[in-house]
C-alpha cells in the first residue's frame, strides 16, 4: 500500500524508461524487504523537474551545474 513520490531533475542525459522501471521496482522491493508492506498496491510516481525549477542551497540546479557543484 505505500505511496512513493520521487522528484528528479530532467538533465541533458535523460533518465531512460529502463532506469525508471528499475527505480519503481527497487523502491517497491525495498518496502517489502524492510517493513513487509505492499507490493500489490504500492504506487510510485516519478516527477522530472527542469533544472531551472529545482533549487538546492538557494541556487537552481542550472546554476550549480555551471559551477560543477
Give me the active site residues, please. 2
Alpha carbons 30 and 37: distance in angstroms, whole number: 9
Here the cell at position 52 is 531551472
Alpha carbons 61 and 51: distance in angstroms, whole number: 5
Binding mask 33-62 for its own copies (x = CB under 8 A): xxx-xxxxxxxxxxxxx--xxxxxxxxxxx
Residue 5 Cβ, how far from its own copies at the closest point, in Å? 5
Residue 18 Cβ, how far from its own copies at the closest point, in Å? 9
Alpha carbons 17 and 3: distance in angstroms, whole number: 20
Using CB under 8 A, list all residues that contact its own copies.
1-9, 15, 17, 19-31, 33-35, 37-49, 52-63
Amino acid at each position: 500500500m505505500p505511496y512513493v513520490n520521487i522528484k528528479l531533475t530532467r538533465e541533458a542525459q535523460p533518465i531512460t524508461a529502463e532506469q525508471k522501471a528499475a527505480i519503481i521496482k527497487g523502491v517497491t522491493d525495498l518496502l517489502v524487504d524492510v517493513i513487509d508492506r505492499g507490493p500489490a498496491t504500492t504506487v510510485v510516481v516519478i516527477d522530472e523537474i527542469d533544472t531551472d525549477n529545482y533549487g538546492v542551497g538557494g541556487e537552481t540546479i542550472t546554476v550549480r551545474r555551471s559551477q560543477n557543484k
